[in-house]
Structure 1
Amino acid sequence: MALTWAESYLGRVRASVGDTDTIFFVGARTVVLDDDGRLLLIQRSDNLRWAIPAGAMELGESMAECAVRELWEETGLRATSLTPYAFYTSYTYTNEYRHTYQQVLMTFLVNSWEGELLRQTEESVDAGFFPLDALPGQQSFVIDEALADLATFQKTGVLVMK
C-alpha cells in the first residue's frame, strides 16, 4: 500500500522544516511508450494536470526502485526493464502549495512492463496512452522536456544532464 504524504520521507521532512524553506526533492520520472508510440500519461488527483508518472524516493530506495514503485502506484503497471536517460539537478520549483524544492531527478524510459493499466488510483483520476500529437488537456510542464531529452539520448547515446 502507498504511503500517505504525511507518512512519506518528503512529507516528514517538509513538516519538520516548515513550508518556507527550500529543500531537496529526490525522485524519478518514467516515460512509457507503447508499441504504437503513444505516451502513457496520468491525470494527477492533486492538480488535475496530465503528467508522466513520477514521484519522490523513500529512504532505502534507489532511483530505479523509486521509478518502478511510482509507476506502479500511479498506473498499476510494473516496469520490468528501465533505461535512465536524463538526470536533472539544477531546477528549483515551487508547487501550488508554495513548497519550494531543488529537484534531483532521474528520468527513465520504461522498456517493458507488466500488468493492467488502472485508470484511477489514489494518485490519479485518469490514465491512458495518447498519441504524441494529441496529448490531452492541461499538461505538466515536464512532458515536453522529458520527450526532447529522450530524443537527444536516443540520438547521442549520452545521458542528458541538466
Structure 2
Amino acid sequence: MVSIPWADSYMGQIRELAGDRVLMFIAARAVLRDDQGRVLLIQRSDNGHWALPAGAMELGESIEQCAIREVQEETGLDARVVTPYALYSGPDYTFTNMWGHTYQHMVAGFRVDEWDGELQRVTDESLDAAWVDLADPPFPIPGTVTRTVDDLVEFESTGRFVLK
C-alpha cells in the first residue's frame, strides 16, 4: 500500500486552508507485541524518532480502519483483529510539530491482536522497524510510546477502557 502524500491527505488539505490556527487531529495508534512481549516500533521518516504505528484518520474511514491502515502503511503488516483500549484527548494533548503546526490530538489506542504478512522495515513512512524490549528502547523515543503501552497493560489488568 502506498501512503497518501501529506498535501493530499485530509489534514494536509485542512492545514493549507486553516493556516496557523490550532486544529483538531483525530488519529489512531497501534500496539503490536510478539510472543516475547516485545513491541513493534517504527523509526519515523519525518523526524527519525522511534514510535508506535500511528497516524491521522482520513475522510470516509472509521477510527478502527485508520489503525489498520496505519499499521499496513508503516510496517507492511495486515492487522486482522484490533481492540480499542484507550482514548487520549483534551488540552494536555496539544502539540506543536517540527513545522510549527499546532494540533489538539484525539488519539485512540488499539491493541493489534492478530496480524499477518511480512514486516517491511522500510516504507514510505518509516526508515526502520524493529521488535523492541521497552526496558532497552532505541533513541530517540517519545514518552507517548511507554505511556501508551503502560495504558494497555492497565486495560488488560482491569478491563476498564482508559480515558485521558
Same fold per superposition (TM over 0.5): yes
Could you say what secondary structure the match of 2:89 adopts?
strand
* Correspondences of 1:57-136 after superposition (within 5 Å): 57-90=57-90, 91-136=93-138
CA distance in 2, matches of 1:151, 1:38: 13
1:14 match:
15
CA distance in 1, matches of 2:102, 2:38: 32
1:49 aligns with 2:49: yes
Kindly provide the amino acid, as one letter, of the partner of residue 147 in structure 1: V
CA distance in 1, matches of 2:53, 2:145: 10
1:158 aligns with 2:160: yes
CA distance in 1, matches of 2:103, 2:29: 16
2:3 match:
2
- Given the two structures, how large is their TM-score scaled by the length of structure 2? 0.96
1:3-51 CA-to-partner distances (Å, cap 9, x unmatched) read 1000000000000111x20000001000000011011000000100000
Kindly provide the amino acid, as one letter, of the partner of residue 21 in structure 1: R
| TM-aligned CA deviation for residue 133 of structure 1 | 1.3
| TM-aligned CA deviation for residue 131 of structure 1 | 1.4
CA RMSD of aligned residues (A): 0.8
| TM-aligned CA deviation for residue 142 of structure 1 | 0.8
Aligned residues: 161
1:140 match:
142
CA distance in 1, matches of 2:14, 2:67: 20
- Given the two structures, how large is their TM-score scaled by the length of structure 1? 0.97
Ranges of 4+ aligned residues in structure 1 off by more than 3 Å: none
CA distance in 1, matches of 2:100, 2:115: 35
Gaps of 5+ in 2: none
CA distance in 2, matches of 1:84, 1:46: 26
Could you say what secondary structure the match of 1:6 adopts?
helix
Identity of counterpart residues, as a percentage?
A: 49
CA distance in 1, matches of 2:132, 2:151: 19
